Chains A and B, each alone.
Chain A
Amino acid sequence: MKRTDKLFALAATFNSPNDIIHAAKVIADARYKNFDINTPYPVHGMDKAMKLKPSKLGYITLASGLSGAAFAMFFMWWAMSVDYPQIIGGKPFFAFPAFIPVAFEVTVLFATLSTVIGLLTFMFGFPNNKHSLHETEYMKKVSADKFGAVIYADDSLFNESKIKELFTSLKASSVELIYHYEKVSYPIFEPKFLMFLIAVAVVTSGGTYFTLNKLLFMQPFNWMVYQDKLSSQEKSEFSQDNNGSRPKVEGTVAKGFLPYPFAGQNIPTETLANPLLPTKEVLKLGEKKYLSFCSPCHGNYAEGDSRLRGQFPNPPTLHSTRAREFSDGMIYHIITHGQNVMPGYESQVTREERWAIVNYIRALQRAKNAKDSDIEEIQKGLLNASK
């Protein structure tokens, strides 16, 4: 890039970190204000040698961190307790402790982003990404193995010959005159670059739109959506009656299911015998299933004290004489097909589980109407256990 003949700065390179610290001290002591040091890596103690004031960037970070905290708190207050109050976990609408982690995160987010943006704009002069020091011999050296000092021409004490003398007295390894760039334009706003940005935006957003909304519905990408199979109740061109769902073949028995001969009848089924013995496991299973399926209406102890608080008519107690005199088969029949308001549970509770429930109901009935002999039996059992 072309340069004007207007002097931008005078630069010198040095060979060692100690030299550059010394040079920075001397330059600062000579009351130059507008100068800079460039080194390939951070040199400790440079801030002090250059007499730099503490950076003001921290104030930007602090201010935006605080405003982030305030914003987060305000927004959560407005959203959670004014605009759309909801009870969450029984906490108050303004649940301050629960807001602290969010406020903390937003604080950190605001603080870091503003630090980066503040650094770029206030310190580096964004969008200007072109500095007259760029593309000079000096810059090449100090980004490799030399340590450079540069005094800008707009310093009030700037005097070319005096500074040259100063640099030579400091034993600089090279001194370089740097001139302004011809025209300070911001390459970032060049039409070419902007067009490129726009093109990238159009291509990525257009491509995304096309992929998600068009491409996925074209052959062959829609194969996952349209498959050669029938969903339930769909029309079928293949079968004669055009019905996609096929009826069961007469006499089919599903694995694990026995046909129930009393389906649809309302007769006392003395002939159905309980195939399960009331063992501990069976009663456990019966209890579990009873509590899941029966207890909501019949109550935990089959006393007809519904847990549904009158949303349905309360069912009768299972401890009545009538219910106690039912045969096992009758109870099984009622569970299977229902009675009055009670629906059948054939589809939800398996055959074995239904018999287990019958056994459990028998145990409940026995416990509620215990005989004296039962109590003696239990006491005997306890005595044996304590021995």
Chain B
Amino acid sequence: MLQNNIEYQKKELPDKLSQLGWILFGVGVILGVIGFFSDHHRTLLNYLMAYMFILSIGIGSLLLIALEYVGGADWSVPIRRVVEFLAAIIIILPILVLPLVFNIHDIFHWAHEEAVSSDAILKGKSPYLNVTFFLIRVFAVLAIWGLFYYLLIRNSNAQDKSRDQLLTKKNIILSAIFIPVFAITITITAVDWLMSLEPHWFSTIFGVYFFASSVVASLAAVTLFVVKLKENGFMHPQLVDDHLFSLGALQFAFINFWAYIAFSQYLLIWYANLPEENFWFLHRWQHGWEYLSILLIITHFIVPYAALLSQPAKMEPKRLKFISVWILVAHFIDIYWLVMPNFEGYYFSWIDLVVPLLAVGVIILIFNYRAKKSNLVPVGDPKLQKGLDFRVP
């Protein structure tokens, strides 16, 4: 029977973190409000990007927690709280989604009844793509995620005091249920928010693409927070580079997975060259968007791949920190690439700054808020000692 006797005193995160979060959030909101009154449509799209960015990191983190339980991973136990804090974003998603819900007609072409009635394809899709059913889906998905988050985190927190091993077992069962639910809900989310921006287009792999992006992004966020906290002495002292190696290796794997999925999607559409599919990629290869497409390939695949290829690179804190920020930026570009080329006549503008400021600000604030409430190390987890002893062979 596993049991640990680890004592870890809870440490308070510095005020600087919450100050940074508030500043980013405040500037983002002010820019957003100014943008909203100067360029209504564009700001909404930017807000949609920010929302998808926040959502992808939150739900990706929840999946990482579920994977830890289902896979029986030891190494990630000492850093699980960081992942949990990031997953807390899920709780505020129903609030963050409201500006989008109120302006749904400005974002989605299919939300206009007169556009649908004169378009045979949209008519055919209208049993799925209509405002009522869309809202039901959005809030149902958020509710399901919230429920799983609440149950998983409640058990995890309760374990800190009770040190009850049964709670781990309960979480394993919850996670096993969550993973297939996640597969369905993330597909619905990706299709609803991103694919339906271009309602005539379809790609069956799109949900997987967004899943790959969100896991890459959440791994990068987790790595960034873990390295930063470790450098400043907030993590458990026995947390060593070997744990970082696992994070680096996972990042490397999912970078490859993302590229594999993205290329699969492209190759099939390119080869078949059917007009009902290929226009989506043609939009991304015209009017200057081709530079963004190439930039996406370089930033989201080639550079992180080369940077994380060798074994020592995967455990070097400085490099991991740099590449995590890099990947998060690439994730911004990815979402930008998914959203913006759908609309004609949009190029880069100062309003695009809203996305990173707002999103990063919100993530930092939520992280800080959750970090105040829980211990940074899951001291009650029976696998904690084994996790701290983890070494790369």
Q: Once the chains bind, are A100 and B391 in contact (CB under 8 Å)?
A: no
Q: Contact between A58 and B310 (Cβ–Cβ < 8 Å)?
A: yes
Contact B263 A100 (CB under 8 A): yes
User: Of all chain B residues, which has the CB nearest A42?
Assistant: B393
Produce 1/0 per residue, B257-286, CB < 8 A to A.
Answer: 000000100110011010000000000000
Q: Which of B359-393 contact A (CB under 8 A)?
A: 391, 393
- In the bound assembly, the distance between CA atoms of A58 and B311 in angstroms comes to 9
Q: Would you call B312 an interface residue if the criterion is a C-beta within 8 Å of the partner chain's C-beta atoms?
A: yes
Residues of A within 8 A of B271 (CB): 89, 91, 97-98
Contact B267 A101 (CB under 8 A): yes
20 pairs from A and B in contact (CB 8 Å cutoff): A42-B393, A44-B391, A44-B393, A45-B391, A54-B311, A54-B312, A58-B310, A58-B311, A62-B309, A89-B271, A89-B273, A90-B273, A91-B271, A97-B263, A97-B266, A97-B267, A97-B270, A98-B267, A100-B263, A101-B267
Residue of A nearest to B273 (CB): A90
Apart from A58-B311, A98-B267: 13 A-B pairs, beta carbons within 8 A: A44-B393, A54-B311, A58-B310, A62-B309, A89-B271, A90-B273, A97-B263, A97-B266, A97-B267, A97-B270, A97-B271, A100-B263, A100-B267
Quote the shortest CB–CB distance from B221 to chain A (angstroms): 29
Residues on the B chain within 8 Å of A90, using CB: 273
Chain B residues contacting A58 (CB-CB under 8 Å) are 310-311
A54 to B315, CA, bound (A): 13
B391 partner residues in chain A, CB cutoff 8 A: 44-45
- How many residues of chain A get a CB closer than 8 Å to chain B's CBs? 13
Interface residues in B308-353 (C-beta closer than 8 Å to A): 309-312
Tell me, in angstroms, the Cα distance from A100 to B309 when the chains sit together.
19
**CB of A157, distance to nearest CB on chain B (Å):** 29
Residues of A contacting B310 in the complex (Cβ-Cβ under 8 angstroms): 58
Q: Name B270's closest neighbour in chain A (CB-CB).
A: A97
A residues with a Cβ closer than 8 A to B are 42, 44-45, 54, 58, 62, 89-91, 97-98, 100-101
Name the CB-closest residue of B to A62: B309
Question: Range of interface residues on chain B?
Answer: 10 to 19
A89 to B310, CA, bound (A): 39
CA distance A45 to B391 in the complex (A): 7
CB proximity of A358 to chain B, nearest CB, Å: 37
A38 to B80 Cα, complex, angstroms: 36
Distance A62 CA – B305 CA, assembled complex (angstroms): 13
Across the A-B interface, the 10 shortest Cβ-Cβ residue pairs: A44-B391, A97-B270, A44-B393, A97-B267, A45-B391, A42-B393, A54-B312, A58-B310, A54-B311, A100-B263
Q: Which residue of B lies closest to A90 (CB)?
A: B273
Q: Which residues of A contact B263 (CB under 8 A)?
A: 97, 100
Contacting residues, chain B, for A100 (C-beta < 8 A): 263, 267
Q: Which residues of A contact B270 (CB under 8 A)?
A: 97
Nearest Cβ distance between residue A273 and chain B, in whole angstroms? Answer: 46
A280 CB to nearest chain B CB (Å): 27
Give, as a whole number of angstroms, the nearest-CB distance from A193 to chain B: 36
Chain B residues with CB under 8 A of A89: 271, 273
Residues of A within 8 A of B393 (CB): 42, 44
Chain A positions within 8 Å of B312 at CB level: 54
**CB neighbours of A91 from chain B (8 A):** 271
Complex Cα distance A101/B271, Å?
13
CA distance A101 to B264 in the complex (A): 10
How far apart are the CA atoms of A89 and B273 in the complex, in Å? 9
Q: In the complex, A326→B312 CA distance in Å?
A: 89
Measured in the bound complex, the distance between the Cα atoms of B336 and A88 in whole Å is 34
Chain B residues whose C-beta falls within 8 Å of the C-beta of A54 in the assembled complex: 311-312
Q: Mark B293-318, 1 if CB is under 8 A from A, else 0.
A: 00000000000000001111000000
What is the CA–CA distance of A360 and B99 in the complex, to the nearest angstrom?
62
Listed residue (A45, A97, A101) with the most chain B CB atoms within 10 angstroms of its CB? A97
Complex-state Cα separation, A42 to B391, whole angstroms:
13
* A101 contact set on B, CB distance < 8 A: 267
**In this complex, what residue of A is CB-closest to B389?**
A44
Bound complex: CA A54 to CA B314 (Å): 13
Separation of A97 and B297 alpha carbons in the complex (Å):
13
Q: Min CB distance, B278 to chain A, in Å?
A: 12
Give min CB distance, B309 to chain A, whole Å: 8
- Give the residues in chain A near B309, CB-CB below 8 Å: 62
Compute how far the CA of A272 lies from the CA of B155 in the bound complex, rounded to whole angstroms: 89
Roughly how many angstroms separate A91 CA and B270 CA in the complex, as a whole number? 9
Q: Can you name the residue of chain A whose Cβ is closest to the Cβ of B268?
A: A97
- Residues in B neighbouring A45, C-beta threshold 8 A: 391
State the Cβ distance, A242 to closest chain B Cβ, in Å.
58
B392 to chain A, nearest CB (A): 8
On chain B, the residues within 8 Å of A98 by CB distance are 267, 271
Shortest distance between the CB of B276 and any CB in chain A (Å): 17
How long is the Cα–Cα vector from A54 to B312 in the complex, in angstroms? 8
B-chain residues with CB within 8 Å of residue A97 when the two chains form the complex: 263, 266-267, 270-271
